[in-house]
Amino acid sequence: MPDKPVSRVLPYGKQHITEEDVAAVAAALRGDLLTQGPIVPAFEAAFAQYIGAQYGVAVANGTAALHLCTLALGCAGKKVLVTPLTFAASVNCVCYVGGIPDFVDIDPQTLLMDVGLARKKLEAAPTGTYAGIIPVDFAGNPVHIEAVRELADDFGLWIVEDACHAPGGFFADSGGARQRCGNGAFAELAIFSFHPVKHIAAGEGGMITTNDQALYKRLLALRNHGMTRDANTFALSPGDLAQGGWYYEIQELGYNYRLTDIHAALGLSQLSRAGAGLARRKQLAAQYDAAFAGTPVAPAPTSDGHAYHLYVIQVPGSADARKTLYDHLRTKGIFTQIHYIPVHLLPFYRGLGWQKGDCPHAETYYEHCLSIPLYPTLTDEEQSYVVNAILAAVNR
């Protein structure tokens, strides 16, 4: 086993840019249109096909995707069930449109939203209190959206699946069929991110997937200032304003959340290798599982359809032991990360009345979690170095 990595820092995640990616971006730069050109719809169609959904709407980033989803589905003045174990954007989007996030603790066996606890909250509330549910496929572990759908239908709620960690992930439904994360079979909308540490890196960017044509058309307008050029939907007559090929209408307030053709070109090129990248992630995860078996280090829960955006371990001992390991690994060139600080304990949400003890399972998880390097270009030698460094420190 090696004592040191191959002359470079090992982050918890990173992009892999190939010459094919560079050529795709260069071709976009040499094209006639850098934005609102043909590459964005090509990327949307290819990504939707990969996920198994009918429609894709590319946007500026995953946060924009979440914002447009809550805007399109609506939750002003109502509560939305959210998980504390996620990046804050999955919760902030509710506040953006005047909704009220209501945190549901995680199931410690999956680290995903506890559907049983969610049902208890809904049963205890007056009818009409809640608008929707935003479950998160944390670390790549897929939410059983079919079960969430049953819950949502019982109370008349919408679902936005945050699948940023899980392109290519899946779960088996009640009939035994594989359902890919974000395929629209059970959730009205799903969202993905193309941040550099994600499976598909576009620099920045996001995607909304859906099987609902009406929502699809509305999202297309909302990402572009609320603008429409469809004459069949115009509210004003030609006698009111002069109309021609230049004419458009803004019928509701939208945003400039468009993705450029430059980013889409990189995303489309990366998508062509998504299957190979996912296979390597799973291989590395299996090697970590084997290396940590029988040791004090406990890997996070897994499943057959896990997409392994992250490989998370639970560090034995106290929170101080986790910090000691985190600091020690940095001296070895291993840059781990914490995913995530429970959102309900961030100052903004404490200001809304949330406090320690409200989501005890998420809080306990946070005290021990550590995301270690996992990305397709991580070599077996580098992985062995990471394992040895962790086990040496923990055993010491």
18-74 pLDDT, tens digit per residue, is: 999 999 999 999 999 999 999 999 999 999 999 999 999 999 999 999 999 999 999
Residue 335 CB partners (closer than 8 Å, separation 6+): 9, 10, 11, 12, 329, 373
Instruction: Tell me, yes or no, whether 144 and 280 share the same domain.
Output: no
Of the residues 231, 256, 271, which one is the last residue of a structural domain?
Answer: 271
Instruction: Tell me, yes or no, whether 390 and 292 share the same domain.
Output: yes
Beta strands per DSSP E along 353-395? 369-372
Across-strand partners of 106? Answer: 113
Identify the domain containing residue 378 by its residue range.
274-395
Instruction: Tell me, yes or no, whether 344 and 368 share the same domain.
Output: yes
Instruction: Tell me, yes or no, whether 115 and 262 share the same domain.
Output: yes
**153 vs 388: CA distance, rounded Å:** 48
- Tell me if 206 is assigned to some domain: yes
- Tell me if 71 is assigned to some domain: yes
Mean pLDDT of 215-222: 97
- Tell me if 3 is assigned to some domain: no
- Tell me if 6 is assigned to some domain: no
Instruction: Tell me, yes or no, whether 283 and 266 share the same domain.
Output: no
- Tell me if 14 is assigned to some domain: no
* Residue 186, φ and ψ in degrees, nearest 5: -130, -25
- Position 1 pLDDT exceeds 50: no
Of the residues 271, 304, 322, which one is the last residue of a structural domain?
Answer: 271
User: Which residue from 284, 292, 288 is spatially nearest to 395, judged by alpha carbons?
Assistant: 292
User: Which residue from 39, 150, 139 is spatially nearest to 85, judged by alpha carbons?
Assistant: 139
Instruction: Tell me, yes or no, whether 57 and 109 share the same domain.
Output: yes
**69 vs 47: CA distance, rounded Å:** 18
CB 105 within 8 A of CB 84: yes
Instruction: Tell me, yes or no, whether 118 and 267 share the same domain.
Output: yes
**pLDDT in the model for residue 4:** 58
155-192 pLDDT, tens digit per residue, is: 999 999 999 999 999 999 999 999 999 999 999 999 99
**123 vs 360: CA distance, rounded Å:** 21
**221 vs 202: CA distance, rounded Å:** 22
306-357 pLDDT, tens digit per residue, is: 999 999 999 999 889 999 999 999 999 999 999 999 999 999 999 999 999 9
- Tell me if 169 is assigned to some domain: yes
**296 vs 320: CA distance, rounded Å:** 16
Of the residues 271, 301, 328, which one is the last residue of a structural domain?
Answer: 271
Mean pLDDT of 232-257: 94
Q: Under the phi-then-psi rule, with left for phi > 0, alpha for psi from -120 to 50, and beta for the rest, what region is 296?
A: alpha
- Tell me if 239 is assigned to some domain: yes
The total of structural domains in the chain comes to 2
DSSP string, 85-142: SS-THHHHHHHHTT-EEEE-PEETTTTEE-HHHHHHHHHHSPTTSEEEEE-B-GGGPP
Mean pLDDT of 222-244: 94
Place of tokens 């489309």: 268
Counting residues of the chain whose pLDDT is more than 70, the rounded percentage is: 98
- Tell me if 2 is assigned to some domain: no
Radius of gyration of the chain (CA): 22
Coil vs helix vs strand at 98: coil
**8 vs 229: CA distance, rounded Å:** 51
